[in-house]
Structures are given as C-alpha cells and as structure tokens.
Structure 1
C-alpha cells in the first residue's frame, strides 16, 4: 500500500470510528464530546497504585459557584476478548461499567488554578491506607466521569476520561528490565517526480496540494520527535520551487527533532528494481541518503516505512546496510508458527514487533490504523484525543502484561499521522508519553516472544512486482554516457551532477514514458552540445624529413571549462616513443599537442588520432593526417645498402659478360671447312643470345 493509500484508509477509518463511537449500545446514551464549559486540557496517562490521578480542564465557561464531581467506574473487563478491543468499544461511548466509588465532589472555587485552567486531583490507593484516597484495588482501565453542576445541581457539562492504574508489583520483561511498550509517530512527505526535463520544479496541481499539506503539518511539528519519510526527490523539487514557505521549511528541517527513515531517491518498486538491477537500487538508496543528509544535516537512521514494495531479499539487503526495522501494511505479513486465531493475529500485527523471517536481525511490525483514527476524532479537544490514544496504548500494554514477561520487549505501536493531524493533539500526546512509564516514544529493541520464549516470526507475503527492465536499460545507458563526460571534467561538474539527478528520477514508478523520454532526450542533447565544443582540424598532409620528429595536432575547446580527453594514435609506418595513448587536458581555446613519432618505413600513410573520454565510453572526434616520409630507419638503411650492393654486383657481372661475348664475336676464328661439310666431332659452340655455352652468367 502506498502512502496515499494508507492516508486514505486512515481518513476513512476516522470517519467510521467517529460514527461508531457516537452511536450508543441498546439503551445507552451517546457520550458527550467536550462540552464548551468543560474542555479537557490534560489527563494523567497512567497512575501508580498509590499515586494521584490529575485532570486539567478549562473552567473559563463555568460559574464561580459551580461544583465538579468525579465518578470512578469499575475497570473495563475484557472477559474472553482483549482489553484493547473492549477499550476501543468503550472510547467515545458512555461508561458501561458500574460505579466503583461514590462520586467525589469539589467546589470549583476550591480547585487549584493556573489561569483559566482548573486542576482536579484524585489521590488513589490500592489497599488499606489513607481513607481520603479513593480505593482502586485492581489494576486496569477505569472510566472516570467528570460532571460540572451549578449551585442548584443543574448539569453544566460532563466528560469521560480514563484512569489507567498500574499493577502493584512491577511488570518485568524477559530480559529483567521494566516492561515498556514503545510508540512511533510516523509522517511523510512524498510525491511523484518533482523535476521537469529542464530541471525546474514541476508537480501536477493535485500532488502539489498534497505536498503542501504535508509540509504544513511537518512544519508545525518540528519539535515533536516524529519518525518521518522524506522523499529526497521531493525535497530537491522544494529547493527549486521558489516558494518562500518551501525555503523556510527546508531550513527548519536541520533543527527539527525528526528521526529520518531511509528512502530511495524516487518512489520505485524496490523488489522489482532489485531483481532487474541491484546496482540501480543501491544508486537510489545512496542518492536518497546523500540528499537527506545534505538537506537536514542528519543521516537516516529510522525504520524502513511507508513502502510496501520490499520483499525478503531486499529487506536482507537493507538490513546489511544497517536498516533492521521494517514497517509494512498488515496484509503484507503472514505469521509463522502455530495456528493463531484472528484476535491473536490482530493483536500481534497492530501492537507487536515481530522477527522477520529469513532476515537476520530484522524486526517487522505494522501500522496501528485505529490509533490514527483516534487522533482524528471529531468533536473532542486535542488533549482528550491524545488521552484516548494513550488509553488505547495502555490497553495494549495491559494485554501484553497479562500474557507474561515474554511479551516484553517487543510491544510496539506505529501511528501513521494524517496531514490534518492537529499540532496540539501531538503536543499533548508527546507530553503525556514523555514521562517515565510503561508507554514511551521509541523503537522496539527486539521482537516479542511467545510463552515459550521463542520470537514470534512473520514473513513478507509475495506480491507481483513491477519489472522496469526496459526503463533500467535506457537509464543505465544514459548513466554510462554521463559517467563518460564526468571523466572529462573536474570533480563536481555542475552539468554531470544535474544530468545524473534527472536520470535517476526516470526509474520512478510514478513517471510516465513521455516524461522519461523527455528527460533522456534533454540529457542527450545537452551532452552532445558539450562534446561539440571540442573541434579538431580537417584532414591534412605532413612531410617528415628526418627519422624522429613531432607532429603537431591542434584541438580547440570552445567551452569555458577545461576538458580531459584520451588521445589514441595509430599508423602502419610510424612508431610512438611515448606510447600510442595519452590523456590531454584541453584548456579553453586552442590547444597544441605535439605527438613524437619515429619513422619505421618511408612512404605515405594515414595517422589516425582518436579522441575519447578518459574512460573510453564516449567517442568524440577523429583526426586524420596523411604522413609522407623520405627518411628511413637504421635497419632500413642497412637493407637498402645491401640491396644496392647486390644490384651493383649484378650489373657489373652482366656488363663484363656481354663485353666478353662481343669480343668473341668480333675476332672469332672458325675451322676450315672448305668443302662445306661438317666434320665429325665438331659442333656449334655459340647461342643466338651471344652467351657462351656453359656460361650461366654468374
């Protein structure tokens, strides 16, 4: 369930609860809400067995001669039900139990006063003792009816409060410490993506109204120790909204009493994104933590809350990062172990911390939406609403104490606040729970346990996940390109920081395909524009006249900031004494880079100079230089000399042979064959080519 869903559910419950609370049982009259003449200002949340129950009320509307009486009723008896269930039925209705003692009546003029506030004290005792103290022999929740009457006994107003008497013997937990139930007050500030493709604050009007409502509620309770889930992306949007109220709110966060819950940068399906790309989830968490720390001055240390998209695997990942408490909706939890009835299940899910199955050290609990409804009760003063919540919390404590010491620690409630929650209600509740007692603000140290001492376990119910695979593919590609340009700039470059901020917004489950594409296109355009500021010369020809020279490469940086590029060089006829790769810092303006080369072989070749980002993700430009070299290397020279020598020898021998052949032809004698006949044993000893037979010319 999303935050908005939880809030809507709580608002619905508040409406329904108010209707039920004001309806009477058969034959019973509905309870009076605060009468204008008897408005409750504060009530003791609990009383020691030999303590004093105190009620403070506004007496400005009562005549000076009025009388105020207090009637203590018998404690609420749960029977086979839970005390919490009976208490919820009781709250908002007339006291349904019989009187325990006769009414205690005191003239208004005799009550201690603090301005318009009158204080009614009722000292109590648990057994024999001072008879002036009211005898309340049994621990539990005792309804107390306060009634104001005039001098003639006519009713002026009445109200019901609750005296929560603690046991005589201290209740200890399984660890030997006093049994304490913890309470967390939860609030949030959340929205869909708050930035447009240009980086400006951009929220639909409906979401903006909701954000402003939460901002107002949080801003009114900065001194209240709330546990809050602040969406980092929403905070960035408020930083850019230009609204002075947003600016003041963000400034005040640094001095608040809030406990911050860890959050992803934007709202995502945590299990889905982790299954697709764990690194993407880790980026979301890291960016979220960085922004929360930057805005508030404090790192998030609270529970994972108001996000039901986790699963066992991601809960384990969060636990390894230090988040061990999880708050989820009741329908996300399934109790492990023996079969439990619905009543027991309701108790465990609403007011207990449970061991999270398969997550070492993990503790999970759910929201107590009935307590949220009590905070929103219409028709009651803020102090009385806070008192009703404290009484309901005490009923859960009594239920756990009845189970035995194994229930503590681990008795815990989480109250989700509504934007319309009255500041005075929270202030009154925090004041009452600030006293050292059985119910305190805080987080559960460990899970509750069954009677055998074994932790009560629950597992997260599986749910369909949203698999943003295609979105993450484009997000990852854009992230790599941003990283490429980031490797070219100095640390903290404003452009890459902004692009990454916008790109990390795109995995939001509340984003549309249109808004995502708009962001990606905007980033690509801005990045290409920055790369276009690097200009290289057109193709040209360089003539080398010596074996070792430097070839100048001129690169212009048309931007205003230095950029680092990787320069990779290659050529088939050249060597590079300083290596084929180097990083070059391009200052704004024209930059000359001299590339030392050594000629391997003379002739013409292409020198290719490729410019990339230092991490080689971005291909920027290529420079092509035609190199003509008339110089040869030492090895080439030796080979050339040998070749010339061989050629010279061949030419010399050929010339000598031809000369001998010419001489032989000019002066040669032949045998006298006057008869013109061949003689035996004689043969022709010349070739038509003029080469002597048997002379191969070598």
Structure 2
C-alpha cells in the first residue's frame, strides 16, 4: 500500500547553496537524486535522509520504500546494483508536488521517516535496511533511483577491518649526465600531495636520489625544500629502496648483484643522513619480480612487500580475502606481502560520493561480521578518489569495527590460509623484464666503474671530486633511461678521466752521459691539472739496472715535478731507459717516454772480462814466442851441391863410427 503525504508533513526543504560537498553540489543535469547526508545507525531518534535534486523539473514526485533488513555482504552489493522491486515490508510512501516548493538548482530535501509509524519496525531486527528513493513524474515513470541503507546494529563482537595506505611521491631523475635538473618546489608538492590530509601513516615511495639532488649546493632552494620534505614525512613510513629507481629483476639478470647491493646501501645511507630516518624493511615490488629476485631483496633486508593484484593468481587472491599472503623466494623462504585493493578503489568512483561512501561503509560493516580474523584493505592514495574516501573514513568514526592503521601493522597480521587451512604460500606472477638491453649497458658501466676506481686511487682522498662522478655512474642504472642515455652517462666518466690524465706529460731530456757505474738519473714530469695525483712510475731497460726497483710511487703536484731514479749501468756505451706513468693500480696509462744514456765507466763485469781477455792474449803471445825459439834451436840440415865423384858433401867422423 502506498501512502501519500503532503511535502510539509514528511520533508523539510531548505534552499542551500554551498552546503553540500564539492562533488555533490556539482551540476549534473536535471532529474537526478544526490545523497547529501543521512542517519547511519538506527537509534531512538528519527531516521533522516538529506538528498539534493539538481535542476528539478516541474511535475516530479518522490517515492520512498523501506525494505526488510539484510545481513549478507553479497546481498548488500546485489541490492546496490539491482534495486529491490518487491513490496516493501516496512514503509512505502510518496512525496508529491515537489515543483511547488523547489524549482531550480541548489535545493536540499531532508526526508524524515515517521518514527511513530516505522521506528519500531526499523529497530526490530539487526541488519542493513535498504531504502529506495525514486524520482518519478505524473505518469509514474522513474527518472532516477537512489538506494541507501540505515543500519540496525547488534552488539555482538566481530572482527575488525582496517584501511592502510601507500602513496607514490617519486620525482623524475634529477641527476643528468652533465647537470642536476630538479624543481625543488615540485619535489615538495609531490610529497605534500601524497601525505596531505592522510588519515593514517602512509608508506611513501620516493627515490633517495631526489634528496641528494636537493642537498647539492648547486640546487637553488634545495635545502629549504629538503627541510619541508622532512617535516611532511614526519609520522609516515619510508620504504626500503635503492638510491635511484631501478628494475631489480633486469639488473639481477646481468649477473652483478654486488652493484644492486651497493645501490640499496646507498639509498639507506642517504635516507638516514638527509632525513634522519631509518627506512622500513618494506618495499613495493615490481611486476617483473621473480622468486630469485625476492631472494635478492631478502638479502638486502626486505621483510615485507606491497604488490599489485596482477602479481597474484586469482585463486590465491580470493583465498587471501584481504589478509597478508606469504610469497616464496627461490630458496623456499617466504615474505609476507599486501595486495593493493584496486577493486575497492574502483568501487569508490562515481558521481555521488556521499552515496558511495554509505554503500562501502555498509558493506564493510557486515563483512566484518562474517570474517573470523581481522582484515586489511590497502589503498593507494596516489590513485584513489579522495572525496568518497574522506566521507567513508568519517563514517568509520561511528563504529569500532572499522578503522585505520599502518602498512607494517597489516603485514604483521595472521597470514592468509587456503581451503585446507594451511598457510597460503605462492610465487609471484612475473611479467617479462621491462628492460631487455641491460647486458651491453652493464658491460659499459662496469668498464666506466673500473676507470673511476683507478681515477679514485689517483685522487684519494679527494672524495669531494669523485662523489658527483659516482652519482652519475649510479644514476645511469635508472629505469627512466634507455641504452643510449646510459651510454652518454658512462661516457661522461671516460671523458673526465681522459681530460685529466691527458695533462700529465713526461719531459724527455737529451742524452745523458754517466761517468760512473751508478748514478741518480733526473726525471721531470709536468702535471697540467689543478690537482695532485698519486701515480706509479715504471722503468725498464736492457742495459740498466734499478737498485730501488722498477716501480716508484710518487705524488705529482700541479706543475713541474722533478725527481731522481737510481740506476746502475750494466755495460758501458749507449742504453735506453723506458718510463711509463700509470695510475697506482696500473690500469690507466697516463704518459710514457724514454731517456738515452751513455756510460763511459767500466763496470766490474767489464773490467773482469777485459782482464781475462788480456790474460788470454798474453798467454797466446808467450806460447807463440816459445814455439819460435824452439824451432831455431833444432838441428838443421844444410843441403849443398854434389861432388864430381858422386859422394855426398858431408863430413863424417869415422872414429866415431867404428
């Protein structure tokens, strides 16, 4: 049965400008019903519902129907999407002649349900009581429908559902190849947008590299911005993060985990130094993260994470039911993660934020009654519609079943369980790495790093000159850069080192004559750079020896540097000494040259060789003389011409022969 009342008996009408929220007061065209406010819980007072009818047209009526309570969250959602059409059990009445009192924009209607007629029925049974309001015309055609709920609450205990929050306040990469490009005001605004009016502690994502850029003396207004960011982040959570935003999975695949470990260590160090805060061991995990990378993240201190719904399979997501999920790493060890509830965020989008807030509040109230353990809903303040969220949080203050908390508290709650009651353990669903060209970039960056390490050994302890170069090298790993950009960053290192080392010159002298076997050979090296450099001077020669060794560690001051190298001549005559100047580790060749040396002194070995040669010569001479003399003393036979009688001309002593 439909009961008809005059408007003055059941509705108080007020012409209100600027009374409603910004979203509700927006002009959305005629024949609409917007919820402004309402009684949330049934009590001893009358139930009132304030609605707004923008641009109300003549001849419109309003029908209000109140249905029996429901308790199941699924039925509540179904009632919202499919307004009930059956006969109402509690109330059914019509407000006529709306146009006689309110025509135009900005009209607010306060509908009060008669307590003497329906109040007792509203209080009879606990549950969510659907109230359907239709805007109709004289032909009973429905132009718009609004469904809301008033709650008859019971006093039995229930679990609790809390909202937790994350937000993204990252600025673009500030460190460029040849400068720092950062707007300090923009960096502050990003953090302010993330935390302003935040209802609870928020896990704020940002790159510590931004802090380094703000602290750089060349950044105008950087220190002031850094102070403001420090104040804005007070009371909020800072996640574990590398110094610059990177694709951990892609860089891990290059086989250089030490570089990643250093990057996370640098991020922690900068955060502690510039913010005076220790990061939480919680991180937002990239979509391409595999079990191997989860293991790596654990090695740098990760104890909890935040993931997107696409990283968890649908079955596990349903079983989790807004509880932490244990994610497996490559070693079978688990890390709890929370899933950003994108579906809940989507449910907050709509044209009537007040009505949306009432719907979500009612759903959560009765969901809390159906679960056995506390639940958590993680929302991203960077993407969620703040207007209905604020209205929803205002409603939270009316009950102790719903509340707000921090991400670390949600992670500490009992984990999700599967259908068998066992703890739910899953591997993340990983997309292919977004960066597929890092192998070549990694090789070039490794070479640049080796060059920079050699350069650092030359300049130590001049760390102030090296810090900007190390920042450039580290910034080259940013996921904002492509392969060509990384090459440009690495080339900066090569160019700087080449420019400095090219200013070291060995001054070659004319031929040096040595009058003794040992001497100190003068050497001159010019350092054209405006800084001192530690170098190694290496000497080699085939005919010279170096009593103090072939390497000499010296410091080249700016300008001309003269020093002596002790040498020892192996032989007399001409010799060439080759000189090479390198970095202390020998990896960088700075300059080289040679020195010609003539030795007029006879060395000990030369003297020995000469004496031996002389002895051999004298012996040969002596033996030759003796041999000649023996030849002269030997018997000689003289041959003379024969006599006519044919007897030899030899005189023979006969007596001696008898």
Fold agreement, TM-score > 0.5: yes
C-alpha distance 631-671 of structure 1, shift in aligned 2 (>3 A): closer
The equivalent residue for 1:516 is 486
Name which of 631, 636, 645 aligns with 1:670.
636
Aligned to 1:687: none
Aligned-pair distance for 1:333? 1.6
1:497 to 467, 491, 494: 467
The aligned counterpart of 2:495 is 525
8 Å CA contact 2:326, 2:424 repeated in 1: yes
2:181 maps to 1:201: yes
1:560 to 530, 553, 566: 530
Q: 1:590 to 1:449 in 2, by over 3 A?
A: same
The corresponding residue for 1:314 is 293
C-alpha distance in 2, partners of 1:500/1:349? 44
Structure 2 match to 1:449: 417
Partner of 2:393: 429
Larger radius of gyration: 2
Q: What corresponds to 1:689 in structure 2?
A: none
The farther-off stretch of 411-420 and 214-223 is 214-223
Deviations 1:573-621, CA, capped at 9 Å, x for gaps: 3443443334322233333333333444444333333222223332222
User: 1:368 maps to which residue?
Assistant: 341
Does the 8 A contact of 2:514 with 2:600 survive in 1? yes
Gaps in structure 1 of 5+ consecutive residues: 1-17, 24-28, 59-70, 103-130, 147-157, 172-178, 402-407, 683-698
Instruction: Evaluate the alpha carbon distance shift between residue 670 and residue 307 of structure 1 in structure 2; reply closer, same or farther with a 3 A threshold.
Output: closer
* Equivalent position SS for 1:504: helix
The Cα RMSD (Å) is: 5.0
Relative distance call for 1:243 and 1:265 in structure 2 (3 A) is: closer
Aligned residues of 1:183 and 1:441 also touching (Cα < 8 A):
yes
Q: Which residue, out of 260, 264, 281, partners 2:242?
A: 264
In the TM superposition, what is the alpha-carbon distance from 1:368 to its structure 2 partner? Answer: 0.5
Provide closer, same or farther for how the CA distance between residues 163 and 551 of structure 1 changes in structure 2, counting only shifts above 3 A: farther
- CA shift in 2, pair 1:660/1:573, >3 Å: closer
* Match in the other structure for 2:443: 473
Match of 1:332 among 311, 317, 335: 311
Structure 1 contact 199–498 (Cα < 8 Å) conserved: no
- C-alpha displacement at 1:420, in angstroms? 7.8
SS at match of 2:34: coil
Query: Counterpart of 1:414?
Result: 378
Aligned to 1:66: none
The question of whether the paired residues in 1 share the 8 Å contact of 2:246 and 2:478 is answered with: yes
Look up the match of 2:587. Answer: 617
Q: Is the partner of 1:362 in helix, strand or coil? A: strand
When residues 215 and 444 of structure 1 are mapped into structure 2, their CA distance, relative to the original with a 3 A threshold, is closer
Q: How does 1:32-181 map to 2 (within 5 A)?
A: 32-34=34-36, 38=37, 76-78=70-72, 83=73, 85-88=74-77, 138=126, 163=151, 165=153, 168-169=156-157, 180-181=160-161
Equivalent residue for 1:646?
612
Instruction: Verify the 8 A CA contact 1:305 1:326 in the aligned structure 2.
Output: yes
**Aligned to 1:188, which of 152, 165, 168?**
168
The number of residue pairs the alignment matches comes to 558
Gaps of 5+ in 2: 1-22, 51-64, 93-118, 134-145, 651-658
- How far does the alpha carbon of each residue in 1:471-500 deviate from its partner, in whole angstroms, 9 at most, with x for none? 111121112212221222234634422222
- Matched-pair contact (CA < 8 Å) for 1:568–1:610: yes
Q: Look up the SS of the partner of 1:507 in the other structure.
A: coil
Shift of 1:313: 0.6
Alpha-carbon distance, 1:75 to partner: 5.1
2:564 to 591, 594, 599: 594
- Scaled by the length of structure 1, what TM-score is found? 0.66
Decide whether the 8 Å contact of 1:487 with 1:614 is kept in 2.
yes
Query: TM-score when scaled to structure 2?
Result: 0.69
Cα distance change on mapping 1:514 and 1:567 into 2, 3 Å:
same
Q: Which residue of 1 aligns with 2:654?
A: none
In 2 relative to 1, CA 189–87 (structure 1 residues): closer, same or farther, beyond 3 Å?
farther
CA drift at 1:663: 5.7
Shift of 1:641: 4.7
Distance 1:99 1:274, change over 3 A: farther
The residue that corresponds to 1:357 in the other structure is 328
Which residue is equivalent to 1:400? 371
The aligned counterpart of 1:605 is 575
